[in-house]
Chain A
């Protein structure tokens, strides 16, 4: 992979890696025994290993081929591998914390393995580790293919990919060591946040610069979604993480936002993390990989534009629905509720657009598990956005809030939509990137599909049951006007559902492991397709129903 860099690019990479290692050393010295000191050592090792790898081929010959004649796929391949590693890690943590809820002794009486520390490891592992790497990898692929231009940098894609993974490592290891900002999906502390700003701004500039090189007159709509994802996540991340560290040598920081403003900023961030990290970018995948795999153009391009602007402008105002019945002004709650209901229109426009694209290609959905992954993702996207709009309505929220229903809703979106569209995209992308005719085993894709569907359904149904039972038990009064059930009563009632949930998650994890094996065997074992001039699956000639 380093052979594709010129010697001056390798020198630049070396300078950056050494600079990172020096910054790590400074952190280690300033932090000493604090967690920041440990993180300094991790940063130093990370920079050191990258520097060592670069130095190994610093004086290797210049790249022989004309690089502008091909797309830059090396960072995409590494991004896919990293995404799958994080998927297994994050989902394993998920199964573990789910099992802890059913059998609390699985915390083994240690501080590092308590629920409060493992849970953010699960959420950050799957959202940022798995989702983030998948988004970076697929966005690099889509922007090049739809622009017919090579990425606008040679070292910067590596900086974005590896820098983002360094952030993930700092975040996840920090929770293990007991540091947290106590902000949902933004638990990482101030120095990791500052690092992510640098990485993310580089990502944004790289993406814009690649689009600026495009040879197509029009920017394909998938890029709009990826651009919205990159730009809005930068804004959200910076505003929500404005904080003052207690000292330069200490991991602890305090947010600059006071009281209810902090709550509002946090949930403006939190819900838009769902909107722009977990939706916009994955819609970018949907609008590219689904038409490519189905070999049919998107049903309505105009509708995709309308739903793009609907999603970007409505989602921005929906966050306050997380704060119903709190100190937040009533009209702000109502605003969030109204926009959440309105969001159903652009969300269903996207889901419907995807499903109507498949109309006339249902035989392919039946035969091809990869396409079925994407079809099921669109269905779950439609279902979970409907559920989300419904749960944002204040009286519904009074039943659902703080219960497992919320957890079920999140996982209908995260497993059913985000993970399924990612696996569908990967199974489309892997054979084409590694120039293979097809995945190593179609049967294993099929197995993965059914494990994922079964796991998601078991999980979601368990959480619906347990959430509604919880909500009802918490609001049942006796004739004397006292609460009929104690909290522990409701906890005991959850027991069977917690076991079912852990089992559903386990099935999903097994599916991801099957996917890893299949991808690995595709890369390792499958024969290289002879003289393949195409980037898409074979047999595109027949397009029934067109």
Chain B
């Protein structure tokens, strides 16, 4: 196996792009997944609830 500058360069220029694209698609899928809508809605409203104590049983 050849560990030259050019080898790493070629690897990062090709796979670097692909993993970024794949990651982008995963993030979009997570953000727009219909089942996540409810938990996101709850999260964004829950910080406005006026309760200043930790949750207790």
Contact = CB atoms under 8 A, between A and B. Distances in A.
B42 to A, nearest CB: 7
A464 to B, nearest CB: 34
Contacts of B39: 217-218
Interface in A503-546: 533-536, 540
Name the prevailing secondary structure of the B interface residues.
Answer: helix
A292 interface: yes
Contacts of A291: 44, 47-48
Contacts, number: 83
B48 A305 contact: no
Interface string B31-45: 110000001111111
Interface residues of A, number: 36
B38 to A, nearest CB: 10
A74 interface: no
B56 A69 contact: yes
A146 interface: yes
B1 to A, nearest CB: 22
A149 B57 CA distance: 12
Contacts of A305: 27, 30-31, 40
A421 B13 CA distance: 38
Interface stretch (A104-112, A293-301, A479-487): A293-301
Given A71-B54, A533-B52, A535-B52, A220 B41 contact: no
A12 interface: no
A68 B56 contact: yes
A41 B50 CA distance: 47
B23 A68 contact: no
Contacts of B47: 145-146, 220, 288, 291-292, 297
A218 B55 contact: no
A220 B48 contact: no
A70 to B, nearest CB: 6
Interface in A312-362: 313, 331
Interface in A159-189: none
Contacts of B40: 218, 301-302, 305
Contact of A220 (B32, B43, B53, B55): B43
Contacts of B44: 291, 297-298, 301
Contacts of B2: none
A195 interface: no
Contacts of A221: 43
17 contacts: A71-B52, A148-B54, A148-B55, A220-B43, A288-B47, A291-B47, A295-B48, A296-B48, A297-B47, A297-B48, A301-B40, A302-B31, A302-B40, A306-B27, A306-B31, A313-B23, A536-B48
Interface of B: 9, 13, 20, 23-24, 27-28, 30-32, 39-48, 50-56
Given A69-B53, A145-B52, A149-B54, 14 more contacts: A68-B54, A71-B54, A146-B47, A148-B51, A218-B39, A218-B43, A291-B44, A292-B47, A301-B40, A309-B23, A309-B24, A313-B20, A536-B50, A540-B48
Interface of A: 68-71, 144-146, 148-150, 215-218, 220-221, 288, 291-292, 295-298, 301-302, 305-306, 309, 313, 331, 432, 533-536, 540
